[in-house]
Amino acid sequence: MQLTLREIRSILGVAAPAHSAGMASGYSIDSRTIRAGELFFALRGERFDGNDYVAAALAAGAAGAVVSSDRVAGFPATLQDRLIGTPDTLMALQKLAGAVRARWGGPLVAITGSMGKTTTKHMMTELLGTRFRVVQSEGNWNNQYGLPLSLLQLQPETEIGVFELGMSAAGEIRHLAGIAKPDVGVVTNVGPAHLEFFSDVDGIALAKRELIESLGRDGWAVLNGDDARVAAFGSLCPGRALSYGIDTDAQIRATKLSAAPAGGYSFAVSTASLESDVFGGARKETVKRIPPDEQAAETRFTLPMVGRHNVRNLLAGLGVAHLFGIRLATLVETVAGLHPAPMRGELVGLANGAVIVNDCYNSSPAALEAMLEAVAEIPARRRVAVLGGMMELGRRSGELHFDCGKRLPDLRFSLLLTVGDAARPLAEGARSAGMAGNACEHFDTPAKAGGRLREILADGDVVLLKASRAVRLEGVWDELSEDGPAGAGRSRR
Protein backbone atom coordinates (compact mmCIF):
# COMPACT_ATOMS: atom_id res chain seq x y z
CA MET A 1 0.00 0.00 0.00
CA GLN A 2 1.38 3.39 -0.93
CA LEU A 3 1.90 5.77 1.96
CA THR A 4 3.57 9.16 2.26
CA LEU A 5 6.65 9.39 4.45
CA ARG A 6 4.67 11.80 6.63
CA GLU A 7 1.95 9.15 7.12
CA ILE A 8 4.56 6.54 7.97
CA ARG A 9 6.18 8.82 10.53
CA SER A 10 2.79 9.43 12.09
CA ILE A 11 2.07 5.68 12.34
CA LEU A 12 5.48 5.04 13.90
CA GLY A 13 5.24 8.01 16.26
CA VAL A 14 8.21 9.82 14.77
CA ALA A 15 8.19 13.61 14.41
CA ALA A 16 8.32 14.80 10.80
CA PRO A 17 10.83 17.39 9.57
CA ALA A 18 9.42 20.75 8.55
CA HIS A 19 9.82 19.92 4.87
CA SER A 20 8.96 16.23 4.96
CA ALA A 21 7.90 14.92 1.56
CA GLY A 22 8.01 11.74 -0.47
CA MET A 23 5.90 8.67 -1.09
CA ALA A 24 6.72 5.00 -0.47
CA SER A 25 5.51 2.85 -3.35
CA GLY A 26 6.88 -0.36 -1.81
CA TYR A 27 8.96 -1.73 1.04
CA SER A 28 12.24 -3.63 1.27
CA ILE A 29 14.79 -4.95 3.75
CA ASP A 30 17.45 -5.73 1.11
CA SER A 31 19.53 -2.85 -0.25
CA ARG A 32 20.81 -5.11 -3.07
CA THR A 33 17.39 -5.53 -4.67
CA ILE A 34 15.64 -2.31 -3.66
CA ARG A 35 13.71 -0.51 -6.36
CA ALA A 36 13.14 3.17 -6.90
CA GLY A 37 10.41 4.57 -4.66
CA GLU A 38 10.59 1.82 -2.02
CA LEU A 39 11.11 2.45 1.69
CA PHE A 40 14.18 0.67 3.09
CA PHE A 41 14.08 -0.84 6.59
CA ALA A 42 17.58 -1.06 8.05
CA LEU A 43 17.24 -4.23 10.11
CA ARG A 44 19.93 -5.42 12.47
CA GLY A 45 20.94 -9.08 12.65
CA GLU A 46 23.62 -11.17 14.28
CA ARG A 47 25.95 -10.84 11.28
CA PHE A 48 24.87 -7.59 9.66
CA ASP A 49 23.56 -4.11 10.34
CA GLY A 50 21.23 -2.70 7.72
CA ASN A 51 22.16 0.80 8.81
CA ASP A 52 25.47 0.27 7.03
CA TYR A 53 23.61 0.03 3.71
CA VAL A 54 21.24 2.99 4.00
CA ALA A 55 23.34 5.26 1.81
CA ALA A 56 23.47 2.59 -0.90
CA ALA A 57 19.70 2.10 -0.74
CA LEU A 58 19.05 5.82 -1.04
CA ALA A 59 21.53 6.10 -3.91
CA ALA A 60 19.62 3.29 -5.67
CA GLY A 61 16.44 5.37 -5.55
CA ALA A 62 14.81 4.43 -2.25
CA ALA A 63 12.19 6.96 -1.19
CA GLY A 64 13.52 6.88 2.35
CA ALA A 65 14.85 4.64 5.08
CA VAL A 66 13.77 3.54 8.54
CA VAL A 67 16.98 3.56 10.54
CA SER A 68 18.10 3.00 14.12
CA SER A 69 17.75 6.16 16.22
CA ASP A 70 21.35 5.97 17.38
CA ARG A 71 22.59 6.13 13.78
CA VAL A 72 20.55 9.07 12.45
CA ALA A 73 23.05 11.75 13.44
CA GLY A 74 25.79 10.01 11.48
CA PHE A 75 24.12 10.63 8.10
CA PRO A 76 24.66 13.82 6.06
CA ALA A 77 22.20 16.67 6.60
CA THR A 78 21.08 16.34 2.97
CA LEU A 79 19.59 12.91 3.78
CA GLN A 80 17.90 13.73 7.07
CA ASP A 81 14.45 14.47 5.61
CA ARG A 82 14.43 10.96 4.06
CA LEU A 83 15.32 9.16 7.30
CA ILE A 84 12.88 7.87 9.91
CA GLY A 85 14.66 7.13 13.17
CA THR A 86 13.26 4.50 15.52
CA PRO A 87 14.66 2.47 18.45
CA ASP A 88 13.80 -0.88 16.83
CA THR A 89 13.53 -1.08 13.05
CA LEU A 90 12.03 -4.60 13.05
CA MET A 91 9.33 -3.49 15.47
CA ALA A 92 8.71 -0.49 13.20
CA LEU A 93 8.29 -2.79 10.18
CA GLN A 94 5.77 -4.92 12.07
CA LYS A 95 3.91 -1.90 13.45
CA LEU A 96 3.58 -0.37 10.00
CA ALA A 97 2.35 -3.71 8.58
CA GLY A 98 -0.27 -3.98 11.33
CA ALA A 99 -1.45 -0.44 10.61
CA VAL A 100 -1.75 -1.16 6.89
CA ARG A 101 -3.70 -4.33 7.62
CA ALA A 102 -6.08 -2.35 9.87
CA ARG A 103 -6.46 0.48 7.33
CA TRP A 104 -7.23 -2.02 4.58
CA GLY A 105 -9.82 -3.77 6.75
CA GLY A 106 -10.74 -6.72 4.53
CA PRO A 107 -10.99 -10.45 5.37
CA LEU A 108 -7.68 -12.23 5.80
CA VAL A 109 -6.87 -15.95 5.70
CA ALA A 110 -3.81 -17.22 7.61
CA ILE A 111 -2.36 -20.69 7.01
CA THR A 112 0.01 -22.67 9.22
CA GLY A 113 1.08 -26.31 9.54
CA SER A 114 4.14 -28.52 9.56
CA MET A 115 3.94 -29.03 5.80
CA GLY A 116 1.85 -27.92 2.85
CA LYS A 117 1.48 -24.23 3.79
CA THR A 118 2.82 -22.79 0.56
CA THR A 119 1.05 -25.25 -1.74
CA THR A 120 -2.24 -24.74 0.12
CA LYS A 121 -1.79 -20.98 -0.13
CA HIS A 122 -1.25 -21.15 -3.90
CA MET A 123 -4.26 -23.41 -4.39
CA MET A 124 -6.46 -21.23 -2.21
CA THR A 125 -5.41 -18.08 -4.05
CA GLU A 126 -6.32 -19.63 -7.39
CA LEU A 127 -9.73 -20.74 -6.13
CA LEU A 128 -10.60 -17.45 -4.46
CA GLY A 129 -9.21 -15.59 -7.47
CA THR A 130 -12.05 -16.88 -9.62
CA ARG A 131 -14.27 -14.26 -7.94
CA PHE A 132 -12.14 -11.94 -5.80
CA ARG A 133 -9.02 -9.81 -6.09
CA VAL A 134 -6.56 -11.67 -3.86
CA VAL A 135 -3.13 -10.79 -2.47
CA GLN A 136 -0.99 -13.66 -1.19
CA SER A 137 2.35 -13.71 0.58
CA GLU A 138 5.29 -14.18 -1.75
CA GLY A 139 7.05 -17.56 -1.70
CA ASN A 140 7.33 -18.71 1.88
CA TRP A 141 7.45 -15.23 3.43
CA ASN A 142 5.94 -16.39 6.69
CA ASN A 143 8.21 -15.21 9.51
CA GLN A 144 8.74 -12.03 11.51
CA TYR A 145 10.27 -10.35 8.44
CA GLY A 146 8.36 -11.91 5.56
CA LEU A 147 4.84 -11.62 6.93
CA PRO A 148 5.02 -7.83 7.53
CA LEU A 149 6.49 -7.29 4.06
CA SER A 150 3.65 -9.36 2.61
CA LEU A 151 0.98 -7.43 4.52
CA LEU A 152 2.41 -4.17 3.18
CA GLN A 153 1.47 -5.39 -0.32
CA LEU A 154 -2.24 -5.09 0.49
CA GLN A 155 -3.93 -2.50 -1.73
CA PRO A 156 -7.22 -0.61 -1.29
CA GLU A 157 -8.70 -2.70 -4.11
CA THR A 158 -7.62 -6.03 -2.58
CA GLU A 159 -10.65 -8.05 -1.51
CA ILE A 160 -9.04 -11.00 0.33
CA GLY A 161 -5.55 -11.59 1.73
CA VAL A 162 -4.03 -15.08 2.01
CA PHE A 163 -0.85 -15.40 4.08
CA GLU A 164 1.36 -18.08 5.63
CA LEU A 165 2.43 -18.08 9.28
CA GLY A 166 5.57 -20.04 10.14
CA MET A 167 7.39 -20.60 13.40
CA SER A 168 10.42 -22.15 15.06
CA ALA A 169 9.46 -21.40 18.67
CA ALA A 170 6.41 -21.15 20.91
CA GLY A 171 4.74 -17.76 20.81
CA GLU A 172 5.81 -16.82 17.29
CA ILE A 173 2.50 -17.65 15.61
CA ARG A 174 0.59 -15.78 18.31
CA HIS A 175 2.79 -12.74 17.65
CA LEU A 176 2.35 -12.96 13.87
CA ALA A 177 -1.40 -13.45 14.21
CA GLY A 178 -1.48 -10.33 16.36
CA ILE A 179 -0.07 -8.41 13.40
CA ALA A 180 -2.18 -10.05 10.68
CA LYS A 181 -5.49 -10.25 12.61
CA PRO A 182 -6.84 -13.19 10.54
CA ASP A 183 -10.54 -13.86 10.06
CA VAL A 184 -9.92 -17.44 8.90
CA GLY A 185 -7.23 -19.72 10.33
CA VAL A 186 -6.20 -22.84 8.40
CA VAL A 187 -4.06 -25.60 9.93
CA THR A 188 -2.82 -28.20 7.44
CA ASN A 189 -1.21 -30.69 9.86
CA VAL A 190 1.18 -31.15 12.76
CA GLY A 191 4.31 -33.28 12.46
CA PRO A 192 7.90 -33.69 13.65
CA ALA A 193 9.35 -30.56 12.03
CA HIS A 194 11.44 -28.09 14.06
CA LEU A 195 12.01 -30.69 16.80
CA GLU A 196 15.34 -28.98 17.37
CA PHE A 197 13.31 -26.26 19.10
CA PHE A 198 10.57 -28.38 20.75
CA SER A 199 10.63 -31.32 23.14
CA ASP A 200 8.03 -33.31 21.19
CA VAL A 201 5.29 -33.12 18.55
CA ASP A 202 2.71 -32.14 21.16
CA GLY A 203 4.75 -29.01 21.79
CA ILE A 204 4.66 -28.23 18.07
CA ALA A 205 0.89 -28.72 18.12
CA LEU A 206 0.49 -26.21 20.94
CA ALA A 207 2.51 -23.69 18.94
CA LYS A 208 0.39 -24.22 15.81
CA ARG A 209 -2.78 -23.96 17.89
CA GLU A 210 -1.92 -20.36 18.68
CA LEU A 211 -3.38 -19.38 15.31
CA ILE A 212 -6.79 -20.81 16.18
CA GLU A 213 -6.73 -19.30 19.66
CA SER A 214 -6.02 -15.90 18.08
CA LEU A 215 -9.21 -15.85 16.01
CA GLY A 216 -12.11 -13.64 17.02
CA ARG A 217 -15.66 -14.67 17.84
CA ASP A 218 -16.64 -14.18 14.18
CA GLY A 219 -13.64 -16.15 12.93
CA TRP A 220 -13.52 -19.53 11.23
CA ALA A 221 -11.03 -22.33 11.84
CA VAL A 222 -10.51 -24.61 8.81
CA LEU A 223 -8.93 -27.79 10.16
CA ASN A 224 -7.52 -31.05 8.80
CA GLY A 225 -9.86 -33.65 10.26
CA ASP A 226 -7.47 -36.48 9.33
CA ASP A 227 -4.90 -35.14 11.83
CA ALA A 228 -6.17 -35.90 15.34
CA ARG A 229 -4.17 -33.11 16.95
CA VAL A 230 -5.41 -30.53 14.46
CA ALA A 231 -9.01 -31.74 14.59
CA ALA A 232 -8.99 -31.17 18.36
CA PHE A 233 -8.26 -27.46 17.83
CA GLY A 234 -11.88 -26.93 16.82
CA SER A 235 -13.14 -27.09 20.39
CA LEU A 236 -10.85 -24.18 21.31
CA CYS A 237 -11.79 -21.89 18.45
CA PRO A 238 -13.51 -18.71 19.70
CA GLY A 239 -15.65 -18.75 16.54
CA ARG A 240 -16.70 -21.68 14.36
CA ALA A 241 -14.81 -24.55 12.76
CA LEU A 242 -14.99 -26.36 9.42
CA SER A 243 -13.24 -29.71 8.94
CA TYR A 244 -11.80 -31.26 5.81
CA GLY A 245 -10.24 -34.64 5.10
CA ILE A 246 -10.21 -37.96 3.31
CA ASP A 247 -10.16 -40.62 6.01
CA THR A 248 -12.62 -39.09 8.49
CA ASP A 249 -16.20 -37.89 8.30
CA ALA A 250 -15.24 -34.27 7.61
CA GLN A 251 -17.56 -31.54 6.36
CA ILE A 252 -15.42 -31.11 3.22
CA ARG A 253 -14.52 -34.70 2.36
CA ALA A 254 -12.93 -36.32 -0.68
CA THR A 255 -14.40 -39.71 -1.55
CA LYS A 256 -14.16 -42.15 -4.45
CA LEU A 257 -10.46 -41.38 -4.99
CA SER A 258 -8.79 -42.90 -8.02
CA ALA A 259 -5.16 -42.29 -8.94
CA ALA A 260 -4.30 -41.16 -12.45
CA PRO A 261 -1.32 -42.77 -14.23
CA ALA A 262 0.62 -39.47 -14.24
CA GLY A 263 0.26 -39.03 -10.50
CA GLY A 264 -2.90 -36.98 -10.13
CA TYR A 265 -6.27 -37.88 -8.62
CA SER A 266 -9.92 -37.90 -9.46
CA PHE A 267 -12.35 -37.68 -6.55
CA ALA A 268 -15.74 -36.46 -5.41
CA VAL A 269 -16.48 -33.81 -2.78
CA SER A 270 -19.79 -33.68 -0.97
CA THR A 271 -21.19 -30.44 0.46
CA ALA A 272 -24.25 -32.01 2.04
CA SER A 273 -23.12 -31.46 5.64
CA LEU A 274 -21.77 -27.94 5.19
CA GLU A 275 -23.14 -24.98 7.04
CA SER A 276 -24.20 -22.31 4.58
CA ASP A 277 -23.06 -19.25 6.57
CA VAL A 278 -20.32 -17.47 4.65
CA PHE A 279 -18.44 -14.21 4.63
CA GLY A 280 -20.32 -11.74 2.46
CA GLY A 281 -18.62 -9.67 -0.21
CA ALA A 282 -15.23 -8.05 -0.16
CA ARG A 283 -15.53 -6.57 3.33
CA LYS A 284 -17.72 -9.23 4.99
CA GLU A 285 -20.32 -6.52 5.75
CA THR A 286 -23.09 -9.10 5.86
CA VAL A 287 -23.35 -12.85 6.18
CA LYS A 288 -24.93 -14.42 3.13
CA ARG A 289 -26.25 -17.90 2.55
CA ILE A 290 -25.90 -20.27 -0.33
CA PRO A 291 -29.45 -21.59 -0.74
CA PRO A 292 -29.58 -25.37 -0.27
CA ASP A 293 -31.01 -25.88 -3.74
CA GLU A 294 -27.95 -24.14 -5.21
CA GLN A 295 -25.46 -26.48 -3.53
CA ALA A 296 -24.50 -29.49 -5.59
CA ALA A 297 -24.79 -32.66 -3.51
CA GLU A 298 -21.54 -33.92 -4.97
CA THR A 299 -18.89 -32.39 -7.23
CA ARG A 300 -16.28 -34.40 -9.14
CA PHE A 301 -12.76 -32.97 -9.35
CA THR A 302 -9.54 -33.96 -11.09
CA LEU A 303 -6.34 -32.65 -9.49
CA PRO A 304 -3.20 -33.05 -11.65
CA MET A 305 -0.78 -33.07 -8.71
CA VAL A 306 1.12 -35.89 -7.03
CA GLY A 307 0.05 -37.27 -3.65
CA ARG A 308 -2.99 -37.66 -1.40
CA HIS A 309 -1.56 -34.90 0.77
CA ASN A 310 -2.21 -32.48 -2.10
CA VAL A 311 -5.84 -33.61 -2.19
CA ARG A 312 -6.04 -32.55 1.46
CA ASN A 313 -4.36 -29.25 0.64
CA LEU A 314 -6.99 -28.67 -2.02
CA LEU A 315 -9.81 -29.54 0.38
CA ALA A 316 -8.60 -26.78 2.69
CA GLY A 317 -8.82 -24.37 -0.25
CA LEU A 318 -12.29 -25.60 -1.18
CA GLY A 319 -13.43 -25.11 2.41
CA VAL A 320 -12.24 -21.51 2.43
CA ALA A 321 -13.79 -20.91 -0.99
CA HIS A 322 -17.11 -22.10 0.42
CA LEU A 323 -16.82 -19.69 3.33
CA PHE A 324 -16.56 -16.85 0.84
CA GLY A 325 -19.67 -17.97 -1.02
CA ILE A 326 -18.09 -19.73 -4.00
CA ARG A 327 -20.02 -22.79 -5.11
CA LEU A 328 -17.68 -25.74 -5.42
CA ALA A 329 -19.22 -26.84 -8.72
CA THR A 330 -17.89 -23.64 -10.33
CA LEU A 331 -14.29 -24.56 -9.46
CA VAL A 332 -13.90 -27.81 -11.41
CA GLU A 333 -11.95 -26.27 -14.31
CA THR A 334 -9.77 -24.21 -11.99
CA VAL A 335 -8.79 -27.31 -10.00
CA ALA A 336 -8.00 -29.20 -13.21
CA GLY A 337 -5.58 -26.41 -14.16
CA LEU A 338 -3.65 -26.29 -10.88
CA HIS A 339 0.05 -27.08 -10.93
CA PRO A 340 2.75 -27.26 -8.27
CA ALA A 341 5.13 -24.45 -7.49
CA PRO A 342 8.76 -24.99 -8.57
CA MET A 343 10.50 -27.82 -6.70
CA ARG A 344 7.29 -28.71 -4.86
CA GLY A 345 6.18 -31.92 -6.53
CA GLU A 346 6.90 -31.00 -10.14
CA LEU A 347 6.77 -33.87 -12.61
CA VAL A 348 9.45 -33.57 -15.27
CA GLY A 349 9.69 -36.03 -18.14
CA LEU A 350 13.16 -36.71 -19.59
CA ALA A 351 13.92 -37.55 -23.18
CA ASN A 352 15.02 -41.07 -22.27
CA GLY A 353 11.58 -41.87 -20.83
CA ALA A 354 12.38 -41.42 -17.14
CA VAL A 355 10.24 -39.19 -14.94
CA ILE A 356 11.55 -36.95 -12.14
CA VAL A 357 9.33 -35.91 -9.23
CA ASN A 358 11.12 -32.74 -8.16
CA ASP A 359 10.12 -32.03 -4.56
CA CYS A 360 13.48 -30.80 -3.32
CA TYR A 361 12.45 -27.39 -1.98
CA ASN A 362 12.25 -28.67 1.61
CA SER A 363 11.66 -31.78 3.68
CA SER A 364 10.49 -33.14 7.01
CA PRO A 365 9.63 -36.68 8.14
CA ALA A 366 5.91 -36.28 7.45
CA ALA A 367 6.53 -34.58 4.11
CA LEU A 368 9.04 -37.24 3.04
CA GLU A 369 6.72 -40.10 3.91
CA ALA A 370 3.88 -38.40 2.03
CA MET A 371 5.98 -38.06 -1.12
CA LEU A 372 7.33 -41.62 -0.88
CA GLU A 373 3.74 -42.87 -0.72
CA ALA A 374 2.77 -40.60 -3.62
CA VAL A 375 5.58 -41.86 -5.87
CA ALA A 376 4.71 -45.44 -4.92
CA GLU A 377 1.34 -44.93 -6.65
CA ILE A 378 2.94 -43.92 -9.97
CA PRO A 379 3.44 -46.87 -12.35
CA ALA A 380 7.18 -47.43 -12.83
CA ARG A 381 9.79 -49.92 -14.01
CA ARG A 382 11.98 -48.84 -11.09
CA ARG A 383 11.49 -46.29 -8.33
CA VAL A 384 14.57 -44.36 -7.30
CA ALA A 385 14.81 -42.07 -4.26
CA VAL A 386 17.47 -39.35 -4.20
CA LEU A 387 17.28 -38.00 -0.66
CA GLY A 388 19.17 -35.47 1.41
CA GLY A 389 18.99 -34.77 5.10
CA MET A 390 16.07 -33.25 6.99
CA MET A 391 17.16 -30.36 9.19
CA GLU A 392 16.03 -28.96 12.56
CA LEU A 393 15.13 -32.38 14.00
CA GLY A 394 17.36 -32.09 17.06
CA ARG A 395 18.43 -35.17 19.02
CA ARG A 396 15.87 -37.37 17.24
CA SER A 397 17.33 -36.66 13.81
CA GLY A 398 19.02 -40.03 13.34
CA GLU A 399 15.99 -41.95 14.58
CA LEU A 400 13.56 -40.07 12.33
CA HIS A 401 15.77 -40.49 9.26
CA PHE A 402 16.13 -44.21 10.05
CA ASP A 403 12.35 -44.65 10.36
CA CYS A 404 11.71 -42.91 7.04
CA GLY A 405 14.32 -45.12 5.37
CA LYS A 406 12.48 -48.23 6.58
CA ARG A 407 9.51 -47.27 4.39
CA LEU A 408 11.45 -47.56 1.12
CA PRO A 409 11.32 -51.36 0.63
CA ASP A 410 7.64 -51.53 1.59
CA LEU A 411 6.87 -48.86 -1.01
CA ARG A 412 8.78 -50.78 -3.71
CA PHE A 413 11.72 -48.42 -4.20
CA SER A 414 14.53 -50.21 -6.00
CA LEU A 415 17.37 -47.75 -5.40
CA LEU A 416 18.30 -45.13 -2.80
CA LEU A 417 20.87 -42.40 -3.38
CA THR A 418 21.61 -40.36 -0.23
CA VAL A 419 23.34 -36.97 -0.18
CA GLY A 420 25.22 -35.55 2.81
CA ASP A 421 26.07 -37.01 6.20
CA ALA A 422 22.68 -36.23 7.76
CA ALA A 423 21.04 -38.56 5.23
CA ARG A 424 23.13 -41.66 6.06
CA PRO A 425 20.55 -43.08 8.54
CA LEU A 426 18.02 -43.21 5.69
CA ALA A 427 20.10 -45.94 4.06
CA GLU A 428 20.58 -47.71 7.39
CA GLY A 429 16.81 -47.81 7.84
CA ALA A 430 16.25 -49.03 4.28
CA ARG A 431 18.77 -51.86 4.68
CA SER A 432 17.26 -52.88 8.03
CA ALA A 433 13.89 -53.28 6.29
CA GLY A 434 15.27 -55.48 3.53
CA MET A 435 16.73 -53.23 0.83
CA ALA A 436 19.90 -54.77 -0.61
CA GLY A 437 23.14 -53.14 0.44
CA ASN A 438 24.21 -52.50 -3.17
CA ALA A 439 20.90 -50.72 -3.81
CA CYS A 440 21.97 -47.89 -1.45
CA GLU A 441 24.65 -45.45 -2.59
CA HIS A 442 25.95 -42.39 -0.75
CA PHE A 443 27.31 -39.12 -2.16
CA ASP A 444 28.86 -36.04 -0.60
CA THR A 445 27.25 -33.54 -2.97
CA PRO A 446 24.12 -33.19 -5.12
CA ALA A 447 26.34 -32.89 -8.20
CA LYS A 448 27.90 -36.31 -7.57
CA ALA A 449 24.48 -37.87 -6.98
CA GLY A 450 23.26 -36.23 -10.19
CA GLY A 451 26.17 -37.71 -12.11
CA ARG A 452 25.31 -41.18 -10.87
CA LEU A 453 21.64 -40.65 -11.64
CA ARG A 454 22.56 -39.61 -15.14
CA GLU A 455 24.37 -42.93 -15.63
CA ILE A 456 21.59 -45.23 -14.41
CA LEU A 457 18.30 -43.62 -15.50
CA ALA A 458 16.31 -45.48 -18.14
CA ASP A 459 12.87 -45.56 -19.72
CA GLY A 460 10.18 -46.29 -17.15
CA ASP A 461 12.14 -45.09 -14.11
CA VAL A 462 10.47 -42.68 -11.66
CA VAL A 463 12.79 -40.66 -9.42
CA LEU A 464 11.96 -38.67 -6.29
CA LEU A 465 14.23 -35.77 -5.34
CA LYS A 466 13.67 -34.57 -1.77
CA ALA A 467 15.73 -32.88 0.95
CA SER A 468 15.72 -29.89 3.26
CA ARG A 469 16.50 -26.53 1.66
CA ALA A 470 20.01 -26.42 3.09
CA VAL A 471 21.04 -29.45 1.03
CA ARG A 472 20.37 -27.64 -2.28
CA LEU A 473 19.41 -30.90 -3.92
CA GLU A 474 18.41 -29.04 -7.08
CA GLY A 475 22.12 -29.28 -7.89
CA VAL A 476 21.19 -32.66 -9.37
CA TRP A 477 19.81 -30.71 -12.35
CA ASP A 478 23.29 -29.47 -13.22
CA GLU A 479 24.07 -33.04 -14.21
CA LEU A 480 20.75 -33.67 -15.95
CA SER A 481 21.33 -30.77 -18.33
CA GLU A 482 19.89 -30.12 -21.76
CA ASP A 483 23.23 -31.12 -23.32
CA GLY A 484 23.23 -34.70 -22.11
CA PRO A 485 21.26 -37.74 -23.32
CA ALA A 486 19.33 -38.03 -20.04
CA GLY A 487 18.24 -34.44 -19.91
CA ALA A 488 17.74 -33.46 -23.54
CA GLY A 489 14.21 -32.41 -24.24
CA ARG A 490 13.01 -32.17 -20.67
CA SER A 491 9.30 -31.41 -20.52
CA ARG A 492 7.22 -30.44 -17.52
CA ARG A 493 3.97 -32.29 -16.93
Contact 74, 83 (CB under 8 A): no
| Residue 220 confidence class, pLDDT cut points 50, 70, 90 | very high
How far apart (Å, rounded) are the C-alpha atoms in residues 446 and 450? 6
Q: How many CA atoms lie within 13 A of 107 on its CB side?
A: 27
Q: What is the mean pLDDT of residues 392-417?
A: 96
What are the DSSP calls for 201-264, one per residue?
HHHHHHHHHHHHHT--TT-EEEEETTSHHHHGGGGG-SSEEEEEESSS--SEEEEEEEE-TTS-
Tens digit of each residue's pLDDT (9 = 90 or more) over 149-208: 999 999 999 999 999 999 989 999 999 999 999 999 999 999 987 777 888 999 999 999
Contact 342, 149 (CB under 8 A): no
Which of residues 141 and 273 earns the better pLDDT score?
Answer: 141
Task: Output the pLDDT for position 279.
Answer: 56
Q: What is the largest CA-CA distance in the chain?
A: 77
Contact 112, 204 (CB under 8 A): no
Contact 222, 320 (CB under 8 A): yes
Beta bridge partners of residue 492, listed in sequence order: 348
Query: Which of 52-61, 282-291, 367-376 is least confident?
Result: 282-291
Task: Output the pLDDT for position 366.
Answer: 92
Q: Could you tell me the pTM of the whole model? A: 0.89
How far apart (Å, rounded) are the C-alpha atoms in residues 406 and 427? 8
Task: Output the pLDDT for position 262.
Answer: 64
| Residue 483 confidence class, pLDDT cut points 50, 70, 90 | very low
Nearest CA to 1 out of 38, 34, 31 is that of 38
**% of the chain surpassing 70 pLDDT:** 91
Task: Output the pLDDT for position 165.
Answer: 97
What phi and psi, each to the nearest 5 degrees, are found at residue 241? -130, 145
Task: Output the pLDDT for position 295.
Answer: 58
Q: Over 60: is that where the pLDDT of 491 sits?
A: no
Q: What is the mean pLDDT of residues 385-392?
A: 95
Task: Output the pLDDT for position 488.
Answer: 36
Mean of pLDDT over the chain: 90
What phi and psi, each to the nearest 5 degrees, are found at residue 25? -95, -5
Tens digit of each residue's pLDDT (9 = 90 or more) over 247-304: 999 999 999 999 876 678 999 998 766 665 555 444 444 334 555 555 567 899 999 9
CB-count exposure of residue 48 (10 Å: 0-12, 13-18, 19+) = exposed
Task: Output the pLDDT for position 287.
Answer: 37
Q: Over 80: is that where the pLDDT of 131 sits?
A: yes
**% of the chain surpassing 90 pLDDT:** 79
Which of residues 237 and 277 earns the better pLDDT score?
Answer: 237
Which of residues 488 and 95 earns the better pLDDT score?
Answer: 95
